[in-house]
Structure 1
Amino acid sequence: MSIPSEEEVEQFVSSTLTSMTREDMEAAIAPAMAEQTGMDGATIADYITSMSDEDLKELFSRALTEQYHTQYATQVEQQLSTMTNEQLAAALDMAITQYTEEMCALYYDEILEFSDSTYEKNLITLGCVDLDSPTTVNLYASSFANKDVIKEAISEYNQTVDDLEEISYTDYVGLMMSSITTIIDAVTYVLIAFVAVSLIVSSIMIGVITLISVQERTKEIGILRAIGASKRNVSSMFNAETVIIGFTSGLLGVVITYLLCIPINLILHKLTGLNNLSAILPVQTAVILIIISMLLTLIAGIIPSRSAAKKDPVVALRTE
């Protein structure tokens, strides 16, 4: 009842704008803006003058809409103030039958008032709180491990009771950590992509270097074959060299990582104030990384080593 329809508002605004010039709009809106903002008239006038016709019409249309809503609500309030409760109830019953779903939704959003009080707050106000049967319990774990223990205990309990007796809980720390974990995973995937590209490039370079070594040592290969070395011996020699290169590079990378962890941890401790937050490389991981480095170099050197083993000793001895 106290909210006009959109058609009425649009008709009022359009008819008012049609009958007014720009000067009329400026004269009508300047006092209202001065009252709302507390600025002097000269500043308001300069601001309004700098506005385009479209901006001024839009601003004035909003002001007219608010004015019409206020006037309409005041008129309806005056009419309803003279009616009894029975008349108000009867008028509401008659109006509801004519309401559309959009009007009911607008009435629900704009008119109805809802209390901020909850069921628990009402029980506290009425003094009906029983500490032996609480509605909610807040648990604060001292560590992530203890949080997981509490979560597992609740899950085990829920498996032994009916659905109505199950304990529902919200893991706020888990919700926050899930978003952080998602970001960390995204960064990790990007780093893994860079590492994969670098490993592929390094493997290709090792293969190229081994192949160049084979070409430069062709005569040496011929001598080895001439004194009785088999193809397998020649191939194993180059494979051993590539494995040694992989072991040396992997070991060097691990040592550099351990050395870099020292200044990184000092910076982390100083910036965060958390002494438990440290960058570490476990020994097991270091060993695995060295083994991976050796395997990559071995795989990259297989083709050049086989190429060396297949060389004809006679042709190899003639090579300068």
Structure 2
Amino acid sequence: NKSANEQLLFSDSAEMLTDLTGTLVNTISYVLIGFAAISLLVSTIMIGIITYVSVIERTKEIGILRSVGARKKDISRVFNAETLIIGFTAGTLGVVLTYLLSIPINAIVFNLTGITGIAALNPLSAVLLIGGSMVLTLIAGSIPSKMAAKKDPVIALRTE
């Protein structure tokens, strides 16, 4: 057993720097994931609000459709179809912008570091992102579409 004065301590600064960098990258990643989750939640709520406003603005149209024989689920399907179209359009726009922005990002990173293909979007991921966008908009529009389906046709036709 050696005393504290006789012990040799070895410190690997490269490993310590790697651990510190890894911790920093993980922390930044968690913060960015948090911001993305908050953004996704807010946008889902906003899509629900937009669909609700659409239902309110089209109350007379809902009354006419119900009076000519449209069932409650037919009215609900109209608004669900609209939200799916919005989700598809938004998801596709996001994927196209990602592909377009990856070109200059890759060029800048290559010029600075010599690394190629740092920004890339897998086609399967792109399809999943579009599908996820459609599912989120469908979820956001489900409550307003149910509200539209429950409107009484007589009361809906009286609105101005």
TM-score, length of structure 2 as denominator length: 0.87
Q: CA–CA distance in 2 between the matches of 1:181 and 1:281?
A: 23
Which residue among 211, 219, 222 is the counterpart of 2:63?
222
Which residue among 84, 87, 101 is the counterpart of 1:246?
87
State the structure with more CA Rg: 1
2:119 matches 1:279? yes
RMSD of aligned alpha carbons: 2.4
Correspondences of 1:175-214 after superposition (within 5 Å): 180-214=21-55
Report the AA paired with residue 154 of structure 2: V
- Percent identity, aligned pairs only, is 59
TM-score, length of structure 1 as denominator length: 0.45
Q: 1:175 Cα deviation (Å)?
A: 8.3
Q: CA–CA distance in 2 between the matches of 1:286 and 1:176?
A: 35
Q: 1:189 Cα deviation (Å)?
A: 1.1
Correspondences of 1:68-79 after superposition (within 5 Å): none
2:11 maps to what in 1? none
Q: CA–CA distance in 1 between the matches of 2:128 and 2:19?
A: 29
Higher relative contact order (CA 8 A, sep 6+): 2
2:132 matches 1:292? yes
Q: CA–CA distance in 2 between the matches of 1:196 and 1:308?
A: 29
Greater share of helix:
2
Against the structure 1 CA distance between its residues 207 and 280, is the aligned structure 2 distance closer, same or farther, given a 3 Å change threshold?
same
Against the structure 1 CA distance between its residues 226 and 174, is the aligned structure 2 distance closer, same or farther, given a 3 Å change threshold?
farther
Q: How many residues align?
A: 153
2:157 matches 1:313? no
Q: SS at 1:189's partner residue?
A: helix
Report the AA paired with residue 311 of structure 1: K
Can you list the C-alpha shifts for 1:241-278, whole angstroms capped at 9, x where unaligned?
00110110010000001000001000000000223x52
Report the AA paired with residue 220 of structure 1: E
Q: 1:174 Cα deviation (Å)?
A: 8.9
Can you list the C-alpha shifts for 1:126-167, whole angstroms capped at 9, x where unaligned?
xxxxxxxxxxxxxxxxxxxxxxxxxxxxxxxxxxxxxxxxxx
Report the AA paired with residue 143 of structure 2: I
Q: CA–CA distance in 1 between the matches of 2:54 and 2:78?
A: 12
Q: CA–CA distance in 1 between the matches of 2:15 and 2:127?
A: 33
Report the AA paired with residue 282 of structure 1: N
What runs of 5+ residues in structure 2 fail to find an aligned partner? 9-13
Q: 1:184 Cα deviation (Å)?
A: 2.5
2:104 maps to what in 1? 263
Q: SS at 2:119's partner residue?
A: coil
Q: SS at 1:281's partner residue?
A: coil
